[in-house]
Structure 1
Amino acid sequence: MAPVSKLNAVTLSKPVTIDGEKVVEITLRKPSPGELRGLSMIDVLRMEVDTMFKLLPRITQPPLSSVQLSSEVDLGDFNTMAQQALLFFVTPEQAEGLQATP
């Protein structure tokens, strides 16, 4: 499993309850190719909502269910997680062009 860094963490604006505990930070990990089965890469890259409801539960730690994503997670937090997930699909060379310059 790939190491997880704080760069992959999303601080939620509104906590969600997972296994009876309030969670304020969700970490995303890079999916393996097998975890993308049944998903259209085009839909992932277009951040199609239905596709994100399938992808995010596979890569969030602690795991969020699609029900939690649709009913408990703030829209802004959902958008941030979807954007963060897209960064796993670029190479380090491509990512260099995505970083802001001062």
Structure 2
Amino acid sequence: MQTPDTEHTTTDMPTGDIVTVTLDTPIARAGGKQITEVTLRKPLAGALRGVAMGDLVACKYDAVAQVLPRVSTPMLLKQDIENMDPADLFKLGGEVVGFLLTKEQKAFIPQ
């Protein structure tokens, strides 16, 4: 018996829990399809399973590459991430780290 994939459900999420990132360099996929934007949703605790939080906060490649497929639409594949422009990887990683901040911590970030 299969259970629904609730980890990737975006319904009823607060607006601040979803962000769309425009990539500097589009990701090319088979068939000529290009990904120019990636929507990220705030990870629930289960999406962080197996990831060292310190590594994720430090934007270490392996941690970011492990979490991105779990929170991205379209779902980024391993080869997408491996071939991604480093500036785009850092931008996506920064957004994921931003999701981990408390409201109090976010209050100290200049808008």
Q: TM-score range by the shorter chain?
A: 0.7 to 0.9
1:84 maps to 2:95:
yes
Structure 1, unmatched stretches of 5+, are none
Amino acid at match of 1:92: K
State the 4+ residue runs in structure 1 displaced beyond 4 angstroms.
none
Matches within 5 A, 1:22-61: 22-61=34-73
Q: Shift of residue 63 of structure 1?
A: 0.7
Report the aligned-residue RMSD. Answer: 1.9
Alpha-carbon distance, 1:98 to partner: 1.0
Tell me the secondary structure at the aligned position of residue 69 of structure 2.
Answer: helix
Partners of 2:22 and 2:28 lie apart in 1 by: 14
Secondary structure of 1:8's match? strand
Q: Which amino acid aligns with 1:10?
A: V
- For structure 2, which runs of at least 5 residues remain unmatched after alignment? 1-9
Q: Which has the larger radius of gyration?
A: 2
Q: Measure how far apart 1:86 and its partner are.
A: 0.5
| Distance in structure 1 (CA, Å) of the matches to 2:45 and 2:29 | 26
The match for 1:99 is: 110
Matched residue of 1:90: which SS?
coil
* TM-score, normalised with respect to structure 1: 0.84
Distance in 1 of aligned mates of 2:66 and 2:15: 21
Percent identical: 31
Which residue in 1 is equivalent to 2:77?
Answer: 65
Alpha-carbon distance, 1:17 to partner: 3.4
- SS of the equivalent of 1:31 reads coil
2-side partners of 1:56 and 1:66: how far apart?
9
Give the length in aligned residue pairs.
98
Cα deviation for residue 3 of structure 1 reads 4.1
Would you say the 8 A contact 1:44–1:51 is kept in 2? Answer: yes
